[in-house]
Structure 1
Amino acid sequence: MFVVAFDQLARRLGSAPTFESVAEFTLLFAAVWWAWSGNTVYAARYGNAGRLYRWGTLGELILVAMVALTLRGDLGDIAGFFALAFGANRAVQAALHLWVGRQSPELRGFARRLGWATGLSALVWAGSVLLPWGGQGQLVAWTLALLLEIFTPILARDVGRAALPHAGHLPERVGLLQIIALGEIVTQVVGGARQQRLSAVTLLPALCAILLAVSLWRLYFDQARTLPLLGAHLQGRVDTMLAWFYGHFPFTLSVVMLSVGVGQSLGSGSARQAAVLQQFVAWPLAGALATLAFLRWTTLRLMGRRTDRSLWALLVGAVLAGLLGPTDLDPLRLHALAAALTITVAVLVATDASTRRLGQIEQRVTARLAEDPEP
């Protein structure tokens, strides 16, 4: 269901790729991403074998499907339906947390805080239906409701040590979402190429876009992805774990926006539209590389280091990607330069001795936790 919702959001942005639509897209994307993260982290914290979780997840998925159905048309026409569906999703999530707090005394402090915050957020979403649909007041209410939920785990991180997510399950689910987001690039590229006659002129930019997606996949999975979460289990570094997890939001957002840029630019007609779509390639790629640099930094910080060659490669790559924005490029040159840049950064990261060492540390720590779950 989350796959469908992300695809609907990409199509929504692709139908009118203007800078004015980015803020609306970002807010709606943040809501769907947070619904996914709530279900994912809940399962990683408390397990997914209970009957209540299965019934709750079924309800959440049905409501996410309803959210996806509302993601069409003008916001002024669909905002109330979106708010009701999403608010009901948050109410289910709140009930799950409150149930955990009732059943597990050792988890009560953390679970109840998340439950009450999520429940209040659900009320705000439902109450926003009474405001003008798509108006500034409603959008502010949605933003405040999301911020309430986002900051609650940060403010409750001390008691959150009693409910750390599983060191293996959470990275696996987070990685799966990134694969889905990167796959959206291929989906949008195929859709954009179908609008043009099949020829080398359309195939070469599409090939470059696919190479770009594969390079981003390699860059993401070359990271020692579980070390911040392992550090929370071994050292109680909940702040680093939260920075690592929240850092995935801008990466997923950038990748989905990038999919719109590379896909729509293949079928763009006017020079003005091509210029706008060029920004939707340059800046999301810069955002994706910058976010990967941040994720790298969280891991290095945990190891007591500040930088390495890979971090600098990612940062320089983000700057160079941003410089593609103001240049005047046709789709072939734009996609070729973006792919060449990303491939170069991926090679630099893959051949960095620090990448290999971090991977070895990750394997040793994972094996230690497997032998002794209570550090």
Structure 2
Amino acid sequence: MTHGQPDTLDLQDPGQAAFSTAPLAEQKVTWLELFFDLIFVVAFDQLSKRLGDSPGLENIAEFGLMFTAVWWAWAGNTMLAARYGNETRAYQWGTVAQLISMAMLALTLRGDLHDTGFAFALAYFANRALQVVMDLAIGQELPGGAPFARRTGLAVLVVALAWLISVWLPPGSTVQIGVWCAALLVDLLIPVVVQRRLGSDLGSLPHGEHLPERIGLLQIIAMGAIVTEVVGGSRQQALSFVTLFPALSAIVLTVGLWRLYFDQARTLPLLGAHLQGQLSRMLAWLYAHLPFTLSIIVLGVGLGHGISAVDAKKDAVNQQFVAWPLSAALLTLVFLRWNSKRVTGRRGPDRSLLAMWAGALAAAALGFLDLDTGQLHGLAAALTVVVSLVVATDPVTRRLGQIEEKVTEQLSEDSATDDADQPGSARTDATSANPPTNSDTRNS
């Protein structure tokens, strides 16, 4: 993420937002969470196959809807663990049950909705119902309760009922899909509305290290799906330079995207929420990962099917599935970096933002050129690598990383001090004894 050790840094220097200090207790990703995330390898693979089998406008729209539903199911579970810890009985047992519901959901992602719409709606209802149970159970289990979880659970209950009603609607019909869209939109807005209702009394915030780690793991899964698609596409062709070069270019492109995402300060918006109450920037950071992950999955479809394509018509379609998703991924990275800079209050020129903007425009331009698969993949890989090198060598990138490391280190040291002062006390006990404020907004 950064290069070398951070320099001595004055967090109160002019032009930079003033960071206060708040404890950040350690919270590691558990084996159960890793197993839960592994289910999304299957889900992404099923969605990729669904899109690649029939890349028409109707199927693209259905793919987008189903992908958003799958991503939000993951986000709900992940945010619950990041807000209230991953060691509560409600979370552990609920995650096991959600894991099974997601496995069943993954089975329904491929195929015509006229055949699978009933099963998809039923599986997703089960997932949302389990989310309600987990939210309300955690609200009861934790000392002092969890106001965010309780209010969220009651709101998601309405969403779950809408999914249940859709089970009895004609599978794949406009009415059923319309109910899904409305329910999903409400679901996505619930955290924003609850946050506004609670305001400064927000019961907890996501953990400053745990949540970025979980999100990063999901991006690795998505980028791994690109490699899977490329290998699958290569199997359809005889091994030769003509097929190996596009495959190698696709893998180099994936490495470039990996560097662009991980070689930056990724937690500043979340730290800003903990230390400055910048909750809207934290939510913007979280929601921006939806289009980024979506772009990565679609890009994998374009790269893999481009290698396996055997006629010019399919090759032209796959070209659009490379150019536009790559452009969208770079634009999302532009937003993520801009949002991080807003947290620190830093202004002035940023060559990384300019490079990513230029890369996004150049990637979109690839969709209008007459290119074969080798040329398309080679140019896309070269473009991504150049942009990643510019970002990696940018002093602003290094400076943002130093700020992130310094603040995280301070919060971890404060947490260790608090633990030493309260031997034998659970994190939840400490939280209940000291109600959260804007500068100390984490429940157990």
- Whether these two folds match at TM > 0.5 is yes
Gaps of 5+ in 1: none
- Look up the match of 1:353: 395
Give the whole-Å Cα distance in 1 for the aligned partners of 2:187 and 2:242. 47
Letter in 2 for 1:318: A
Letter in 2 for 1:101: G
- Look up the match of 1:68: 106
- Look up the match of 1:139: 177
> Please, which of 171, 174, 178 is the counterpart of residue 219 of structure 2?
178
Greater mean alpha carbon deviation, residues 268-277 or residues 170-179: 268-277
Gaps of 5+ in 2: 1-38, 416-438
- Look up the match of 2:326: 285
* CA apart distance, 1:103: 3.7
Give the whole-Å Cα distance in 2 for the aligned partners of 1:19 and 1:221. 33
* CA apart distance, 1:105: 6.8
- Look up the match of 1:296: 337
- Look up the match of 2:312: 271
Report the TM-score when normalising by structure 1.
0.97
Q: Answer yes or no: is 1:40 the counterpart of 2:78.
A: yes
Root-mean-square deviation (CA), in Å?
A: 1.3
Report if the CA contact (8 A) 2:41-2:225 is conserved.
no
Report if the CA contact (8 A) 2:330-2:356 is conserved.
yes
Q: Answer yes or no: is 1:7 the counterpart of 2:45.
A: yes
- Look up the match of 2:252: 211
- Look up the match of 1:311: 353
Letter in 2 for 1:165: P
- Look up the match of 1:169: 210
Letter in 2 for 1:231: G
Greater mean alpha carbon deviation, residues 337-346 or residues 154-163: 154-163
Report the TM-score when normalising by structure 2.
0.82
Report if the CA contact (8 A) 1:113-1:152 is conserved.
no
Q: Deviations over 1:204-250 (max 9, x none)?
A: 00000000000000000012001111111110111111000110000
Give the whole-Å Cα distance in 2 for the aligned partners of 1:191 and 1:123. 39
* CA apart distance, 1:372: 2.1
Rg comparison, structure with higher value: 2
* CA apart distance, 1:272: 1.0
- Look up the match of 2:132: 94
Greater mean alpha carbon deviation, residues 10-19 or residues 170-179: 10-19
> Please, which of 274, 279, 283 is the counterpart of residue 242 of structure 1?
283
* CA apart distance, 1:109: 3.0
Give the whole-Å Cα distance in 2 for the aligned partners of 1:52 and 1:299. 33
* CA apart distance, 1:25: 0.4
Greater mean alpha carbon deviation, residues 241-250 or residues 158-167: 158-167
- Look up the match of 1:362: 404
* CA apart distance, 1:108: 4.0
* CA apart distance, 1:72: 2.2
Give the whole-Å Cα distance in 1 for the aligned partners of 2:169 and 2:242. 49
* CA apart distance, 1:263: 0.1
Q: Secondary structure at the match of 2:170?
A: coil
Give the whole-Å Cα distance in 1 for the aligned partners of 2:265 and 2:40. 26
Q: Deviations over 1:158-185 (max 9, x none)?
A: 4373210111100000000000000111
Report if the CA contact (8 A) 1:181-1:256 is conserved.
yes
> Please, which of 84, 89, 93 is the counterpart of residue 122 of structure 2?
84
* CA apart distance, 1:107: 4.8
Give the whole-Å Cα distance in 1 for the aligned partners of 2:90 and 2:138. 10
Q: Which has the higher contact order (CA 8 A, sep 6+)?
A: 2
Q: Give the count of matched residue pairs.
A: 375
Give the whole-Å Cα distance in 2 for the aligned partners of 1:57 and 1:43. 10
Of all paired residues, the percent bearing the same amino acid is 59
